[in-house]
């Protein structure tokens, strides 16, 4: 179980270290965690849970670096709010308050900043969370891609939910809230380099209502949750597999993917499992609670496309496998860096 | 090598006779038809797309044929004889095969 | 998706696999080579090995244009990127391939202008939109891709564009197959022929494989049913003791090839007398260069390049894996020193290289956790 001793030997930081895949994990677990997280031996979750004077709190932080700033379905502001609310939600907590930092590039049009601030205010209201503190810095032109946004959120634990990879058992079901790949492909297309057009938009939203619905119907059975952002479902499930040492088995036909996302992925040689999502979450639920949990999600607004993807098994250990209906299978690994279009 | 995907021609661009708007499952891109000079496709045709160029027209008839042959596999021996009779992959002689100039029929 | 989903029908796949198991002679061990990296990728992606009988072995051939590109050529291309005037444009496949001083993505992170393009036409557009910069397109690929580069160069010439050039690393498939068959350790019974290369060159160029070498070859599509049907056709030939070229991918591959495309290639490209293939060594008449009439758009003439040959460490057994003598996992470096994250040899640098494909899709099926690589 667990990953064993991870070492970070790279002489300098490369782009791959920020992509959420293998290189990122090496940086975080090999360099930063040992230094910063004193005596930490737990697998890393989406948020940290603390006890302060008997009150259980969750705290998390995330930074948002996206190009273009604005895209179909949202902008960096919404990502910043929803992203942190979602990290808290999948750790089993309800976001109560956010603090925001802006690092702004000199030369950024005020209208752009204003639009992002408005977007954040709207997203916070929709998510039922208050923005209570903030900071702003301005750096020279060229030192920040227009703007970087960081949010830090605190929240209260949702009663009856305790997620931990070590509680996952063979036979547990894997549930996904909705179709994958919409955010990552939207961003890829919005960059304009590939000259592709499609009716597609980011799925950015707060998943808290869905998590709460799942908690109500299946609380005691929820073993693990994660929001599959950068690196996609493949990365999140590989992290799970590695943290609990079991095999993750997915049925290829159960994986929900919109036609346009599928078309773009086929065209560019990408796997939807590796593409970022900003409005979905994965849950591993004990089999006796899984059906009720799935039903509850489907009845909740925004959850009608929730599916059971598969289940946990003993073998192969620490590995994610996709099984086809005709008896074929393939291992799905974490990528090293961001998925790149290919022509070969 | 060679990631190439089937796409449907939605629109030809008259000002640039060599490009067309092609749709792949709802994703659209301008595709260069310059490699299909000898067999110019029209709107509604399906083409094979690679690096933004159409390499070939897709023959719906051949595709249906192939599926028909495949579905017969595993059926009784009489059907197997019929399959052999289709002349899978023999050199062009006319009929279902391509003509010498590589012309394809599509619906 | 039309012309895709039908060929992924699970029920028909199941029955075709059964047919393969029925046809395969249990007393015989079949070694079938699929030449094309795209086929290698498809086989792994669709888990096709799982439905084949154990006595039918698929051997992965050299048809991965990224894999066979020597590191020295990557260094040459990247040396052009070091020029601040230059916009280095290449397909996504090239972006993580390491040169001596790093990969294109790493050069980009260090501040050089490196861009991913989906099409050579997009690289041309970059040149049109950035008249004060020099756009250098790093061209790779077999005959599938070369015609598109050719058309793009013809267009650049027609436009009189002075700020566009191509670094040509196009290679041809037949010499590679010949090199495999010429090697004394090769034991291949039959070939699955490259489907998309054949849309350009047609089926005739493979006739010597059947006639002179006595090996059956079936030109195959890329969907699961295409590959499985091709194997059925090969097994039929092997059973009858036949050896001929068959076209399974008829819906797309014309027997005579694409004359327009071949014409464009002939107008723009000439054959290099020889070219080095990583893992296979020097092969004569196996790669393309720009003709004199297109010298103005030839990056190798516009820029001076180091032209230094970089050899792989002796321990890397890419050559043997390419010829099917060794399986990826049998190379001593596989999974240890050589992984997709830090590739040592040719077959790990691209996701369709047989070692990378095996590493990504297969080797942990037995539950051996690879950790963080």
B28 lies in the same domain as B66:
no
Residue whose token pair is 């959120």: A153
Residue A290 distance to chain C (closest CA, Å): 26
Query: Model confidence at B104, in pLDDT bands (50, 70, 90)?
Result: very low
Statement: the pTM of the whole predicted model exceeds 0.90: yes
Q: What is the spatial distance between Cα C50 and Cα A288, in angstroms, rounded to a whole number?
A: 32
**A269 near B CB under 8 A:** yes
Going by pLDDT thresholds of 50, 70 and 90, the confidence category of residue B88 is low
Asked if A102 and A149 count as a contact pair (C-beta separation under 8 A), the reply is yes
- Mark yes or no for CB contact C360/A331 under 8 Å: yes
DSSP state of A219: G
**Is the same domain home to B44 and B73?**
no
Angle at the Cα of A260 from the Cα atoms of A254 and A264, rounded to 5 degrees: 100
Question: SS3 of C294, please?
Answer: helix
Q: What is the mean pLDDT of residues C111-136?
A: 97
Using pLDDT thresholds of 50, 70 and 90, give the confidence band for residue B17.
Answer: low
For residue C222, list chain B residues with Cβ-Cβ distance below 8 A: 2, 4
Phi-psi region of A227 (alpha: psi -120 to 50; beta: other; left: phi over 0): beta
Q: Is the CB of A274 inside 8 Å of chain C's CB atoms?
A: no
**Residue C36 is nearest to which of B2, B35, B48, comparing CB atoms?**
B2
Same domain, B44 and B78: no
- For C49, the token pair is 């090995």
Tell me whether residues B25 and A260 touch, CB distance under 8 A: yes
| Statement: residue B94 has pLDDT above 70 | no
pLDDT score for C215: 97
Task: Find where tokens 């049913």 sit.
Answer: C225
Residue A46: per-residue pLDDT: 82
Q: For residue C218, give the 3-state DSSP assignment.
A: strand
Cβ-based contacts of C259 with chain B (< 8 Å):
38, 101-102
Residue A43 vs residue C164, higher pLDDT: C164
Give the nearest chain B residue to C217 (CA atoms). Answer: B89
Domain with B53 in it: what CATH number?
2.30.30.140
Closest CA to B28 of A266, A196, C117: A196
Sheet holding C86-90, edge to edge: C114-116, C86-90, C134-141, C164-170
Q: Are residues B63 and B37 in the same domain?
A: no
Q: Could you count the other beta carbons within 10 Å of the beta carbon of residue A85? A: 30
So what's the pLDDT on residue C8?
Answer: 95
Distance CA(C18)–CA(B75), nearest Å, equals: 11
Residue A16 — very low, low, confident or very high, per pLDDT cuts 50/70/90? confident
Q: What is the pLDDT of residue A25?
A: 85
What is the mean predicted confidence (pLDDT) over A105-126? 95
Tell me the helices (H) and strands (E) count for chain B, helix number first. 2, 5
pLDDT the model gives residue B1: 59
Q: Does B105 touch chain C (CB under 8 A)?
A: no
Whether B101 has a pLDDT exceeding 60, the answer reads no
Residues of C in contact with A329 (CB under 8 A): 47, 50, 365
Whole-number pLDDT of residue B76: 55
Residue A113 pLDDT > 90: yes
Contacts of B22 in chain C (CB under 8 A): none
Integer Cα distance of C246 and B90 in angstroms? 6
C1-314+348-357 maps to CATH 3.40.50.11750: yes
- Write a three-state SS string for C235-274: HHHHHHCCCCEEECCCCCCCCCCCHHHHHHHHHHEEECCE
Residues B51 and B81 in one domain: no
pLDDT band at A163 (very low <50, low <70, confident <90, very high): very high
**Residue numbers of the domain that contains B29:** 5-57
User: What total of structural domains would you count in chain B?
Assistant: 2
Q: Residue C66: closest CA among chain A residues belongs to which residue?
A: A344
In a shared domain, residues B52 and B10: yes
Residue B19 lies in a domain: yes
Share of chain A above pLDDT 90, in %: 80
DSSP assignments along C315-372, one per residue: T--HHHHHTTSS-GGGSTTBTTTB-SSS--SGGGSSTTSHHHHHHHHTTTTT----TT
Helix, strand, or coil (residue A324):
coil
Please tell me the distance from the alpha carbon of residue A139 to that of residue C270, in angstroms, as a whole number. Answer: 52
pLDDT confidence of residue B84: 61
pLDDT digits (tens, 9 = 90+) for C293-318: 999 999 999 998 888 999 888 888 98
> Is B39 domain-assigned?
yes
Task: Give the closest-approach CA distance of C159 to chain A in angstroms.
Answer: 21
Q: What is the band of C372 on the pLDDT scale with cuts at 50, 70, 90? A: very low
Split at pLDDT 50, 70, 90, the class of B96 is very low
Tokens of C45: 């992606």
Q: Does position C373 have pLDDT exceeding 60, yes or no? A: no
End-to-end alpha-carbon separation of chain C, Å? 36
Q: What is the pLDDT of residue C365?
A: 78
Q: Which of C307, C352, C312, C304 is nearest to C331 (CA)?
A: C312
Is some CB atom of chain C closer than 8 A to the CB atom of A327?
yes
Nearest by CB to residue B1, choosing from A194, A266, A344, is A344
CA-to-CA distance for C101 and C107, rounded, in angstroms? 8
Boundary-marking domain end, from B42, B57, B72: B57
CA distance B34 to chain A (A): 18
CA distance A258 to chain B (A): 10
Q: Summarize pLDDT for C173-216 with one digit per residue, the tens.
A: 999 999 999 988 888 999 999 999 999 999 999 999 999 999 99
> Is the CB of residue A263 less than 8 Å away from at least one CB of chain C?
yes
Measured CA to CA in angstroms, residue C159 lies from C128, C152, C292 at distances of 9, 10, 18
Express each pLDDT in C47-98 by its tens digit: 999 999 999 999 999 899 999 999 999 999 999 999 999 999 999 999 989 9
Confidence (pLDDT) at B75:
66
Topology of A165-331 in CATH?
Phosphoribosyl-aminoimidazole Synthetase; Chain A, domain 2 (3.90.650)
Nearest to A152 by CA among A211, A228, A64: A64
pLDDT at residue number B95: 37
CA distance B104 to B64: 14
Average pLDDT over residues A37-52: 80
What CATH code is assigned to A37-157? 3.30.1330.10
Mean pLDDT throughout A60-83?
95
Residue B79 banded pLDDT, cuts 50, 70, 90 = low
pLDDT confidence of residue A336: 77
Q: What is the mean pLDDT of residues B50-62?
A: 96
**Contacts of residue A269 in chain C, CB cutoff 8 Å?**
92
Note whether C59 and A336 are within 8 A (CB).
Answer: no
Per-domain residue ranges of chain A? 37-157, 165-331
Domain boundary among B15, B35, B57: B57
Same-domain check for residues B63 and B22: no
Looking at residue C66, its pLDDT comes to 93
B73 within some domain: yes
Q: Which of B47, B2, B22 is nearest to A196 (CA)?
A: B22
Separation CA A285–CA A276 (nearest Å): 23
Average pLDDT (A254-258) is 98
């Amino acid at each position: 179980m667990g990953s064993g001793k991870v070492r970070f030997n790279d002489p300098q930081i490369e782009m791959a270290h920020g992509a959420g895949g293998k290189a990122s994990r090496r940086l975080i677990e090999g360099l930063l965690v040992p230094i910063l997280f004193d005596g930490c031996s737990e697998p890393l979750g989406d948020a940290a849970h603390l006890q302060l004077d008997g009150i259980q709190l969750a705290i998390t932080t995330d930074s948002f670096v996206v190009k273009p700033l604005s895209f179909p379905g949202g902008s960096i502001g919404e990502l910043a709010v929803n992203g942190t609310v979602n990290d808290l939600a999948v750790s089993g907590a309800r976001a109560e308050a956010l603090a925001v930092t802006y690092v702004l590039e000199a030369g950024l049009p005020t209208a752009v900043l204003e639009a992002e601030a408005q977007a954040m205010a709207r997203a916070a209201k929709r998510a039922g969370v208050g923005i209570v503190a903030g900071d702003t810095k301005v750096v020279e032109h060229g030192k920040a891609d227009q703007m970087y946004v960081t949010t830090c959120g605190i929240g209260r634990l949702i009663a009856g939910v305790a997620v931990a990879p070590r509680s996952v058992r063979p036979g547990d079901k894997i549930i996904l809230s909705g179709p994958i790949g919409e955010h990552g492909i939207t961003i890829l297309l919005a960059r304009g380099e590939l000259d592709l057009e499609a009716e597609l938009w980011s799925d950015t939203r707060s998943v808290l209502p869905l998590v709460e619905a799942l908690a109500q119907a299946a609380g005691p059975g929820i073993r693990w949750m994660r929001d599959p952002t950068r690196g996609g479902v493949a990365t999140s499930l590989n992290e799970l597999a590695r943290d609990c040492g079991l095999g993750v088995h997915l049925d290829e036909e159960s994986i929900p993917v919109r036609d346009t996302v599928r078309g773009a992925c086929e065209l560019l040689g990408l796997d939807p499992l590796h593409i970022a999502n900003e409005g979905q979450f994965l849950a591993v639920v004990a089999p006796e609670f899984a059906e009720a949990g799935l039903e509850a999600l489907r009845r909740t607004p925004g959850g009608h496309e929730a599916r059971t993807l598969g289940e946990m098994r003993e073998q192969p250990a620490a590995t994610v496998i996709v099984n086809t209906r005709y008896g074929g299978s393939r291992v799905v690994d974490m990528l090293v860096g961001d998925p790149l279009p290919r022509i070969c | 090598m060679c990631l190439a995907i089937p796409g449907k021609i939605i629109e030809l661009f008259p000002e640039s006779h060599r490009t067309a708007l092609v749709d792949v499952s709802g994703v659209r891109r301008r595709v260069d038809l310059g490699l299909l000079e000898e067999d110019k496709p029209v709107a509604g045709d399906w083409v094979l797309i690679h690096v933004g160029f159409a390499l070939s027209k897709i023959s719906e008839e051949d595709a249906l044929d192939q599926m028909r042959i495949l579905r017969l596999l595993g059926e009784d021996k009489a059907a197997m004889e019929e399959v052999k009779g289709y002349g899978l992959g023999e050199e062009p002689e006319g009929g279902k095969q391509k003509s010498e100039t590589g012309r394809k029929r599509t619906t | 998706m039309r012309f895709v989903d039908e060929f992924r029908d699970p029920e028909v796949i199941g029955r075709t696999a059964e047919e393969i198991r029925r046809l395969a002679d249990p007393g015989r061990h079949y070694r079938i080579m699929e030449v094309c990296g795209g086929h290698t990728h498809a086989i792994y992606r669709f888990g096709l090995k799982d439905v084949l009988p154990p006595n039918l072995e698929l051997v992965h051939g050299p048809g991965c244009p990224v894999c066979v590109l020597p590191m020295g050529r990557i260094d040459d291309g990247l040396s052009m990127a070091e020029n601040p005037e230059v916009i280095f444009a290449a397909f996504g496949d090239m972006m993580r391939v390491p040169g001596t001083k790093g990969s294109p993505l790493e050069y980009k992170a260090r501040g050089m202008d490196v861009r991913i393009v989906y099409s050579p036409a997009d690289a041309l557009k970059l040149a049109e939109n950035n008249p004060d910069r020099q756009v250098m397109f790093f061209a790779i690929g077999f005959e599938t891709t070369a015609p598109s580069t050719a058309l793009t160069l013809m267009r650049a010439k027609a436009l009189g564009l002075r700020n566009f050039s191509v670094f040509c690393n196009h290679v041809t498939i037949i010499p590679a197959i010949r090199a495999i068959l010429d090697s004394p350790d090769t034991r291949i019974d039959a070939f699955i022929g490259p489907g998309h290369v054949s849309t350009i060159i047609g089926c005739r160029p493979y006739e010597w494989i059947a006639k002179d070498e006595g090996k059956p070859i079936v030109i195959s599509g890329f969907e699961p049913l295409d590959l499985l049907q091709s194997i059925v056709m090969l097994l039929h030939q092997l059973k009858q003791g036949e050896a001929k070229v068959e076209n399974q991918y008829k819906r797309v591959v014309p027997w005579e090839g694409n004359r327009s495309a071949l014409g464009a290639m002939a107008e723009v490209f000439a054959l290099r007398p020889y070219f080095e293939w990583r893992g296979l060594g020097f092969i004569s008449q196996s790669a393309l260069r720009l003709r004199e009439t297109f010298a103005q758009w030839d990056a190798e003439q516009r820029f001076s390049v180091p032209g230094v040959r970089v050899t792989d460490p002796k321990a890397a057994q890419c050559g043997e894996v390419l010829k099917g003598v060794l399986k990826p996992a049998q190379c001593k470096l596989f999974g240890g020193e050589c992984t997709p994250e830090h590739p040592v040899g040719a077959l790990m640098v691209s996701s369709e290289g047989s070692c990378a494909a095996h590493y990504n899709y297969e080797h942990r099926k037995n539950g051996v956790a690879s950790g963080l690589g």
